[in-house]
Chains A and B, each alone.
Chain A
Amino acid sequence: MTTTDFSSAGANAPTNVVLAVENLHVEFAMPDGTNVRAVNGVSYQLNSGETLAIVGESGSGKSVTALSVLGLLRGGTIKRGKIIINGNDVLEMDPVERRKLLGSEIASIFQNPTSALNPLMKVGDQIVETLLVKNRDLTKREARKRVFSLLSAVGVPEPEVRANSFPHQFSGGMCQRVVIAIAIANEPRILIADEPTTAVDVTIQAQLLDLIEMAKLETGASTVLITHDLGVVAQAADRVAVMYGGRIVEYGDVFDIFERPSHPYTGALLGSMPRIDEDVENLEVIPGQPPDMTDLPVGCAFQPRCAVGKGRVLCGTTIPDYSNLPSGQGVACHYPLGEGIPPSLGDNQNA
C-alpha cells in the first residue's frame, strides 16, 4: 500500500504534472498523548491546466493535505511522503528556497474571505503587497494600474474607489473576489481553493465558480478544489479524488465518478444527496458516523458503515490497496461496485 501509481488514471503524460503528492502521512499529537492520523498515505497528481477536486466530509483529511502542500501546516507533522513541485521535493528543500517557490508558484483561496484579508489594510494595498513578492522593483504607478485591472478582472465595481476600501466595507462575496484577485496577482501555476464558496449564497457561489474558472483559463493555473459539495465538483472539476478517513478511496475522471462510482462510499454519497433537478422518493442513508480519527476502525475505515463490506472478514482486517480499474478509475476497495461480485458471495461474512 506504500506505492501508488495514479499516472494511468489521467489522460495526460507525466511530464505535464505540476504537483505530485506521494504517500503523504500527517499526524497531530494531542495533549493527552494520543496521535491523530489525519492523513494516511495520500497520493495524487495535478496535471497542467486541470481542476482536481478533492471531496470528503469534515475530518477526512482534505484540508490537511492542502495545508501540507502550502507549507501552512500548524500543529501537525508530516511523517512521511513527498510533495513534488517543479521536480523538487519541497519537504527536502531549504526553508528560504521553499518559501520563494511556494510564494510564487502556489496561491490559495480559503473558505472564510473576511479572515483571509487583513482588516487593518486597504484591499488595494493588500494586492500590492502580493505583487511585490514577485517583483520588488514595481513602481507605484505600475502597481496601481495592476491593482485596478485585477480588481476589475474579478468583478469588483469601481476599482479605483474600492481599492481604497477596507475589507469590512465589502460583503462576503466581494471579499472573496478580492482574495481571488490576490491569488491570481502573481499568475501562479497552482491554485489551491479550500471550500472557496462554502460561506457564500448560492447565486454568489455560481459567480465565484465562474470567476475561478476564468482566472484559471487566463493564468493557465492548475487548480486543486477542495469541497464537500458534490454539486460544485460536478460543475467545476476535471478529475476527482474522494477522501475518507485520511485516505483517497476513489480517484478518476469526473464523468466516470458520477456515472459509475466504484467505491461504495462514493456511491452512497451520491445516493444520499437530495436533488433540485429531479424528484427523489427516498434518500439513501449512510448509517453511522464518520470515523473517529484518533481511533480508526481496523481494516477499511468505511467498513462499519458500508453496505457491501460490513461484516466481511477481509474488509474488517485489511486496508484495501489502491488498484486501477479497467475504466481508469483508481479505487481502494476489496469489493468495488460494478465489478460483478454479488454482495452475498466473495468471502465468508457475518463476523
Chain B
Amino acid sequence: MLESSISVERDGGEVALDSLLSLENIKVAFPLKGKFPWSRESVRAVDGVSLRCEKGDVLGIVGESGCGKTTLANVIMRVLKPTEGRVLFEGEDHAKRTGTRTKELYRSLQMVFQDPFTSLNPVLSAGGNVMEPLRIQRVGNAQERRDRALKMMAEVGLRADQFNRKIAEFSGGQLQRIAIARALVLQPKLVVLDEPVSSLDVSIQAQVVNLLLRLQREFDLTYIFVSHDLAVVRYICNRVAVMYLGKIVEVGPANKILSQPSHPYTRALLDAIPIPDPHKRRPTGEAVLKGEVPSPLNPPNGCRFHPRCPWAQSVCATKSPEIRGLPGGNDHSFACHFPLGETDAIPDLENSKQRNKQ
C-alpha cells in the first residue's frame, strides 16, 4: 500500500526525479516535400506521448506498423530530435546534453535492432563488433577490451572460437546474440530492443527471448521492448504501452492490459491474434476490426480510433480523449471516453478506496 501511494504522488508530480527515463509530451513531425514552403505538410509520427520507465522495468511498446513505435524508440535513443517535448534520462534532458555528457549517455543507452544482418558491421568479425562500443568509449586497453567482449559473448551463448569469425558465417539467431552482446558490453542502464525477435524462426525466437530475460535479471537491466507481437510482449514485459497513430491509447501493467484491456483498440488487437489452439478459433468474419489504419498525414478528428471503433459515440468524433487513470491509480491509464468495463471497475475501486480510508 505504501509503495502504491508513493507512486501515485510521483505520477502527479511535475518531474519524476527517480524515473530512469521519462518522456514528456513528445511530438515528432516529418515534413513532406511540397511545391511551396508554406504548403508543406508534415506527418505527425508521434503526437504527444508522455511515458515513464522505471529502473528494472521491461516496458513494451506495441502497435501496428506506422503507429510511431520505432520513431519513439529513436527519440529515446537520441538518434532523432523530437519536434516538441523533452526526454529525461536520469533526470537530465537529452537536448541539453553536450560533449562528454552525450558520450556518457550513449554508454548507458544501447539498442538492439530487428535485422541483425544489416545492423552488424560485416567488415568486422563477431568479436570486433562486440568490441566496437568499448573502442569508441575508450574503455581499457586492447587486451581488456578483448577480455570483456569474450566474457560478454560467453554470456549470450557464443563460443570463444567464434570470436574471429566473419559476420557472414553466422545464422540469424546467432547474429542477434552478437548484437545483444554488443549492446550489453558497455553495461548500459537502458536497452531499447526494436523488434529483436521478429525476424527469427519460431524455435530460435524462444531461445533469444529467454536469453534476454536471463540477462535482464542477471545484470539488473531496464528494457524498452518495441514489438508488434503481443504474445512475446506478454511473456517478457511487466508494463505495456499501446500506441495507435502516434498516440498512446493505453499504458499499464502488462498482465492487466493484455488480459482485460480498457481501450477498445487494445481489445481489437488482442482479438485479432490467432491463438495456437484450434478449439479457440475465431469464427470466420466475426468481430474483426474493420478497415485499415488511417493515414497519419490526415488523422481523424477527435479520438483517432473512432472510425474503426465498434463502441464509438458521437462525442468520440469531436473530442479527443485525454489519457487518464482510474481513481486509485494502479498505474493503468487509457485514452478513451467509454473504456471497456469501466462501469464494473469504478464502483469496485471506489469501495476499496473507502475501505482504505477506514
Q: Which residue of chain A lies nearest to B270 when distances are taken between CB atoms in the complex?
A: A276
Residue-wise, chain B 166-185 has the 8 Å CB interface mask toward A (1 for contact) of 00000101100000000000
Query: Nearest Cβ in chain A — how far from B15, in angstroms?
Result: 35
Contact check, B285 vs A214: say whether CB atoms are below 8 A apart. Answer: yes
B14 at the interface (CB under 8 A from A): no
Task: Provide the residues of chain A in CB contact with B258, threshold 8 Å.
Answer: 276
| A234 in contact with B288 given A203-B268, A272-B203, A274-B234 (CB within 8 Å) | no
B326 at interface by CB-CB < 8 Å: no
Contacts of A272 in B (CB 8 A): 202-203, 205-206
CA distance A274 to B174 in the complex (A): 20
A276 touches which of B207, B231, B285, B292 (Cβ 8 Å): B231
Which residues of the other chain, B, contact A104 by a CB distance below 8 angstroms? none
Interface residues of B in 230-262 (CB under 8 A from A): 230-232, 234-236, 255, 258
Q: If the complex has contacts A58-B201, A275-B276, A289-B171, are A203 and B64 also in contact, measured as CB distance less than 8 A?
A: yes
User: In chain A between 211 and 238, which residues have their CB closer than 8 angstroms to a CB of chain B?
Assistant: 213-214, 228-237
Count how many chain A residues have C-beta atoms less than 8 Å from C-beta atoms of the other chain: 49
Q: Are A201 and B65 in contact (CB under 8 A)?
A: yes
Whether A206 and B289, one on each chain, are in contact in the complex, defined by CB atoms closer than 8 angstroms, is yes
The answer to whether B288 touches A258, judged by C-beta atoms less than 8 angstroms apart, is no
Does B297 count as interface, using CB distance less than 8 angstroms? no
B279:A255 contact, CB within 8 angstroms:
yes
* Chain A residues near B173 (CB-CB < 8 A): 289
Q: Which residues of B contact A282 (CB under 8 A)?
A: 210
Q: Are B64 and A202 in contact (CB under 8 A)?
A: yes
Chain A residues positioned under 8 Å from B201 (CB to CB): 57-58, 228, 290
A 154-198 contacts with B by CB, 8 A: 171, 173-174
A75-102 at interface with B (beta carbon < 8 Å): none
A231 touches B275 (CB 8 A): yes
Q: For residue A284, which residue of chain B has the nearest CB?
A: B206
CB <8 Å contact, B234 and A234: no
CB–CB B292/A232 < 8 A: no
A37: shortest Cβ distance to chain B, in Å?
Answer: 19
How far does the alpha carbon of A234 sit from the alpha carbon of B275 in the complex, in Å?
7
- Inter-subunit contact A270/B276 (CB<8 Å): yes
Give the residues in chain B near A286, CB-CB below 8 Å: 203, 206-207
The chain A residue sitting closest to B199, CB to CB, is: A58
- Contact check, B202 vs A232: say whether CB atoms are below 8 A apart: no
Q: How far is the CA of A229 from the CA of B235 in the complex (A)?
A: 17
Shortest distance in angstroms between A147's beta carbon and chain B's nearest beta carbon? 21
With A and B bound together, what is the CA distance between A210 and B205 in angstroms? 27
Residues of A within 8 A of B207 (CB): 285-287
A277 contacts chain B at the CB level, 8 A cutoff: yes
The reply on A121 being an interface residue by CB < 8 A is no
| Interface residue A116 (Cβ < 8 Å from any Cβ of B) | no
Residues of A within 8 A of B274 (CB): 205-206, 209, 229, 231-232, 234-236
Q: How far is the CA of A236 from the CA of B283 in the complex (A)?
A: 10
The 4 closest A-B pairs by CB, nearest first: A231-B274, A272-B206, A274-B235, A235-B274
A residues with a Cβ closer than 8 A to B are 57-58, 171, 173-174, 201-207, 209-210, 213-214, 228-237, 254-255, 258, 268-270, 272-277, 279-280, 282-287, 289-290, 305
A–B complex contacts, Cβ < 8 Å, 26 sampled: A173-B292, A201-B65, A202-B269, A203-B269, A203-B288, A203-B289, A206-B271, A206-B272, A207-B289, A210-B285, A214-B285, A229-B274, A230-B276, A254-B278, A255-B279, A272-B206, A273-B276, A274-B209, A276-B230, A277-B277, A280-B235, A283-B210, A283-B235, A289-B173, A289-B204, A290-B171
Binding site for A on B (CB under 8 A): 64-65, 171, 173-174, 201-207, 209-210, 228-232, 234-236, 255, 258, 268-282, 284-285, 288-290, 292-293
